[in-house]
Structure 1
Amino acid sequence: MSIKILPPQLANQIAAGEVVERPASVIKELVENSLDAGATRVDIEIDKGGSKLIKIQDNGSGIPKEQLNLALSRHATSKLATLDDLDAILSFGFRGEALASISSVSRLTLTSRTAEQAEAWQAYAEGSDMAVKVIPAAHPVGSTVEAVDLFFNTPARRRFLKSDKTEFTHIDEWLKRIALVRRDIHFMLKHNGKMVRHYRPAKNEQQYLQRLAQISGKQFAEQALAVDCEHNGLQLTGYIQSPYFEANSSDTQYFYVNGRLVRDRLVNHAVRQAFAQQLEGIQVGYVLMLNLDPHQVDVNVHPAKHEVRFHESRYVHDFILQALQSALSQAEQLPLTSEEGCLAVGDDAQVDEGYGTQAIKPSLNELSVRHDRGNGALSWSAPTIQSGVRERASVAYAGDYSNRGGRADSYRGPELPSQAALNNYAQLMTTPNLRCHEDKPVDAKAMPAVLAGKFWVITEADELRLIPFSMVADEVARSQISSKLSSGLVGQPLLMPVSIKVDDDWQETIAQRELLIRKLGIELTIRLGQLIIKKVPPYLRQSQLANVIPEFLQWIRFEEPADEAITNWLVAQSRASFSSAVILWTEFCQLSESQQQHIISESKVLPWQNWLGEQTSE
């Protein structure tokens, strides 16, 4: 049997098998093209569940006449030009297969007009012959795509379509997914001539909560927790089911990465693990959006683009897990009062003198807890999403979305969390402090010159000194560990638990030193002859745990080390990595004056006077 190149018609129909599974797939591809074209309104019209007619009209930028024919060709796209573009994809489409695949299994008409053109043009293609005709037409700026008689030339695939009701359900579900993440778009859906869905653009959070109520139900929208957490280039926003949610379960489960809905195993594991303790055995609801640098995620790993691959998967997993766990745990704490000095109130705040010691309750329906980089504390403020804080971690009760500007008494969320809960959340999501002594902000320009990427060059009186980064990193770690060790370190879950063949003495050692191990934030279990490491403090994250933990167990087997010895050990383990020079400098400024002077006194003095003397004698 000889090898032959497939004819274009056959190749297009094979590609259509991956792109066009059912009418909902066609709508997905066409609407995503509209969004990539900058449309702010998308009207969808279908007949008989989409098998008879699919019509998508948008007000996007349109397609020039000379490119209409090319738009229906395979591997033709305006969204990629070079291989480098594939590493940073922000558009929905990028493969250039959708229109060609759809036109190969339907009678497709593409009508479009750009703002520069005086008239619109229409391209028509029917079935596998792919012959494209371009004629003048009347149309406003934007595009309209009609796909008639889907799978008319592939009867076998047409027979696999379900009933009109089932196919419409798939279309309706997909529209819900895109409407939740693209709050700025006006969507309208008609079925058999009747309007069945109308999602108006949400210009503020109240309007978005109305859209959330349309899609996920009024009860979920009223009682959901709003999450807004940002840390080191990762931002997680959205809403999660409250532990006080009256229903036992919710079918609202949507997770987006850079605006793209995904069903990724890593993401699903992080979300399930976060809800495991608070809502065990319940199918929880959530609408979450993760945004990160497009260079840090690969979206070209699945034919339908449902899965993604993160370059730093463990970091992304732990970020999602800790953000959600902290948000859920805060919802179960006791309220704050004004005496604790943690309630930040806007101009609309009201004072209810009948509530304890003159507690302050914001009149807005959203209450958020904000991470302040200046002092490492968290404070309540309103609103959440529009606070504009660059480095923040917030959780808010959505409240009654239908109440616009009502009294504070109408707020129906549960009690505010305690200061202890806020401090714990700050410890989990803390970032380096950006203040020096006497609460003076650090100017990044004031950082000394860096030498060889390892030292700062500073002047102290008439001395020229080199301060090693490693020395500062050790002192910063020692200061942080010492302040936290008495109350216990916070363990961070590992994405993949480390398993080691168990030693005969470890079971007894773990039992004897259980309090010490728990105090360090380490979680260990023994099962089937294996020691499984589940959690470790952040100071051990970069260590070779398969070696470090056995050595640690051997150390504590015969003695219980003092806090100072434990601190020195953790400092030694954390030397493998430290922050950037800028962040490390802010941490240096955060140390006490005595600690700073100790570091300076231990630094290396350069004999610059001798150098100048030698140069003078020459």
Structure 2
Amino acid sequence: MPIQLLPAQLANQIAAGEVVERPASVVKELVENSLDAQATQIDIELEKGGSKLIRIRDNGVGIAEAELVLALSRHATSKISSLADLEQIESLGFRGEALASISSVARLTLTSKPAQQAAAWQASAEGRDMAVELRPAAHPDGTSIDVVDLFFNTPARRRFLRSDKTEFTHIDELIKRLALSRFDVAWQLSHNGQVVRRLPVADTAAAKQKRLALICGRNFAEQALWIENQYGEIKLSGWILPAMACQAVSSGQYSYVNGRMMRDKLLNHAIRQAYGDWLAAELQPAFVLYLELPANDVDVNVHPAKHEVRFHQARLVHDFVVSALADALTQGQDSEPKPALAAESPSMTTSQTQVASPQPNSAAAQAAYATRHAATGYTKAPLYQPQQGRVTARAVHDSVAAKPAVASVRAQINYQAATLQAATEQVASPTPHYFLLENRFALCQEAEQLFMVDLPASIAIQWQLKVQSAPLLLPVRLTVASAEFEPLLAAADNFSALGFDLLLKDRTVIIRAVPIWLRHTAIGQWFGEFLSTLITVQTDGLAEALLDVLLRQGFLQADLLLGVYPAALSKAQRRALALSFDAATLQIRKANDAH
């Protein structure tokens, strides 16, 4: 057979095989055109799962009369015009194949009116010769597209369609994905004359939360962590469900790159890796994540349906996503509220008075969890509001233990002393037995005497003797106020001696490494707060002052830090910091007053 050019109709049907897999594919292409046309209201009407009718209406900019026929031609688009445009695509559509491909396997009618045009015009094309008929029509500003009798001229393709219910389910899932990508657009989905989904514009935080609950479920909306992290020009934001709330059936896995919905293998691998040992193999992660980066750093022209992309700095993107999500999940896992010391609960056991630590979902994960904690000094961190930090948990109680009433302090110490005595007699351990008060004081017993250890002072001594530093995958950048710059510069050597690697440049401090037990805390939050108090800190008391901020404000949990520096409760330290019973009561009263 000699080489010859294919007829236009045959070429379009071949292209349709890649673009139009099922009714949901048609809806996707047409709705993306509406979004590119700056529509703020999109209505989708279906009959028989979309096989009989797909109608998309929008209030976008519309198509001029002179361009209607061209719009139904293959490789005709307003999105790009040169190779340079192809290398930095910012629109959802760009190939100019969708309308021509759809009209080759269905009866398509396109009606449109730009705001500056006096009247609307309608273009129709169907099957075989695909001749376009143009006529005037009545239509408000915007565009409507009717796709009737999908695959009417390709019976083999039509036989591969599933039931109307199945095809509608695919379309409904598609609209949910699109609605989560554009909160500024109102959506309405109807099937066989019945409105199935109506989503108004979500232009407030409460409205966005409501849309999230409608699409992903109330449990996801209430338990998901909000994350917002940035490295250079790469930004990641959205919601992710803590591992302890994940189930075997996911409540939603939605990822977007520059506003384009995506099922990218690299992103999925990074998300799963971020969960690590916390998520058992049989459980599914749940997330709604938005990755934003310069358009010229990502190639979207690598998949027929544009479900995957290629990153020019794939390794950097992967590691950034893993690091950002791992930090969020770490803080989420450690957000469980601690039980307060209960003076009037004689049935309380020793284990009940310790800080509640979340456990992984499998035996293997528990072993890895224990090993990782022992090696890194894994620490708890509080959760923040979006405007103050990077991670927010919905409906999570304050993670700091409730403060004991001053009147019950004596009863608490009496009870804790009895419990300590029993534990000391029954368990032989080189680690001293202790109870924590206010996440700052350790109540210890030696022989018949009680001691109250001030942890910032005691641990500061051990910290300076045993410094372990860990580099950060993504350095933290903070702006330094004028009043904070000189004190920070003066304390630079002291920070270095404690395991910090700081770079001061143009009123900006770049934190490149921290002590290993601070690596998983919200560094950008507590370091900024500590800088505001640095001017009052003596250089030789830097370690104690920093620990005081970390422990007092709940950025770091004392029990986990004592796992790194158990010698802080050694006999020598306890003698040096021993307090009488009355002095201990006074000290606790002062701490409560300070809070």
TM-score range, shorter chain: 0.5 to 0.7
396 and 129 in structure 1: CA distance in 2 versus 1, 3 angstrom threshold: same
Q: Secondary structure at the match of 1:88?
A: coil
251 and 488 in structure 1: CA distance in 2 versus 1, 3 angstrom threshold: closer
Q: Partners of 2:512 and 2:31 in 1: how far apart?
A: 55
1:439 to 460, 470, 484: 484
Verify the 8 A CA contact 1:249 1:285 in the aligned structure 2. Answer: no
Deviations 1:449-480 (A, max 9, x none): xxxxxxxxxxxxxxxxxxxxxxxxx9959x99
Q: Partners of 1:197 and 1:157 in 2: how far apart?
A: 29
1:160-199 aligned at under 5 Å gives the runs: 160-199=160-199
Counterpart of 2:30 in structure 1 is 30
Query: Which stretch shows the higher mean deviation, 54-63 or 281-290?
Result: 281-290
Give the CA deviation at 1:164.
0.5
Q: Secondary structure at the match of 2:289?
A: strand
Counterpart of 1:415 in structure 2 is 399
Q: Partners of 1:381 and 1:487 in 2: how far apart?
A: 18
- Unaligned 5+ residue runs, structure 1? 338-377, 400-411, 442-473, 491-618
31 and 413 in structure 1: CA distance in 2 versus 1, 3 angstrom threshold: farther
Verify the 8 A CA contact 1:333 1:416 in the aligned structure 2. Answer: no
Verify the 8 A CA contact 1:335 1:416 in the aligned structure 2. Answer: no
Deviations 1:263-292 (A, max 9, x none): 111111110101122222221111111001
Counterpart of 1:430 in structure 2 is 475
Q: Partners of 1:178 and 1:475 in 2: how far apart?
A: 43
Verify the 8 A CA contact 1:331 1:414 in the aligned structure 2. Answer: no
Verify the 8 A CA contact 1:92 1:260 in the aligned structure 2. Answer: yes
Counterpart of 1:310 in structure 2 is 311
488 and 53 in structure 1: CA distance in 2 versus 1, 3 angstrom threshold: closer
Give the CA deviation at 1:232.
0.8
User: How many pairs align?
Assistant: 397
Counterpart of 1:271 in structure 2 is 271
Q: Normalising by the residue count of structure 2, what TM-score does the alignment of the two structures yield?
A: 0.62
Verify the 8 A CA contact 1:63 1:143 in the aligned structure 2. Answer: yes
1:571-582 aligned at under 5 Å gives the runs: none
480 and 192 in structure 1: CA distance in 2 versus 1, 3 angstrom threshold: closer
Amino acid at match of 2:390: S
Q: Secondary structure at the match of 1:236?
A: strand
Deviations 1:507-541 (A, max 9, x none): xxxxxxxxxxxxxxxxxxxxxxxxxxxxxxxxxxx
Give the CA deviation at 1:247.
4.7
Q: Partners of 1:416 and 1:225 in 2: how far apart?
A: 18
Counterpart of 1:77 in structure 2 is 77
Q: Partners of 1:483 and 1:394 in 2: how far apart?
A: 19
Counterpart of 2:288 in structure 1 is 287
Q: Partners of 1:440 and 1:234 in 2: how far apart?
A: 28
Q: Secondary structure at the match of 1:117?
A: coil
Counterpart of 2:207 in structure 1 is 207
Q: Partners of 1:323 and 1:78 in 2: how far apart?
A: 37
Give the CA deviation at 1:15.
0.4
Give the CA deviation at 1:415.
2.7
Give the CA deviation at 1:246.
7.2
192 and 487 in structure 1: CA distance in 2 versus 1, 3 angstrom threshold: closer
What value does the CA root-mean-square deviation take over the aligned residues?
3.2
1:493-572 aligned at under 5 Å gives the runs: none
Q: Secondary structure at the match of 2:110?
A: strand
Give the CA deviation at 1:48.
0.4
Pair 1:58 & 2:58 matched:
yes
Deviations 1:155-175 (A, max 9, x none): 111111111011001101111
119 and 425 in structure 1: CA distance in 2 versus 1, 3 angstrom threshold: farther
Amino acid at match of 2:232: N
Q: Secondary structure at the match of 1:321?
A: helix
108 and 437 in structure 1: CA distance in 2 versus 1, 3 angstrom threshold: closer
Give the CA deviation at 1:144.
0.1
61 and 333 in structure 1: CA distance in 2 versus 1, 3 angstrom threshold: same
Counterpart of 2:372 in structure 1 is none
Q: Partners of 1:211 and 1:482 in 2: how far apart?
A: 39
Q: Partners of 1:209 and 1:489 in 2: how far apart?
A: 31
413 and 102 in structure 1: CA distance in 2 versus 1, 3 angstrom threshold: farther
Q: Normalising by the residue count of structure 1, what TM-score does the alignment of the two structures yield?
A: 0.60
397 and 270 in structure 1: CA distance in 2 versus 1, 3 angstrom threshold: same
1:396 to 372, 392, 399: 392
Counterpart of 2:370 in structure 1 is none
Q: Secondary structure at the match of 2:245?
A: coil
Amino acid at match of 1:183: F
Q: Partners of 1:55 and 1:190 in 2: how far apart?
A: 10
Give the percent of matched residue pairs that are identical in Structure 1 and Structure 2.
53
Verify the 8 A CA contact 2:24 2:171 in the aligned structure 1. Answer: yes
200 and 304 in structure 1: CA distance in 2 versus 1, 3 angstrom threshold: same
Q: Partners of 2:74 and 2:286 in 1: how far apart?
A: 39
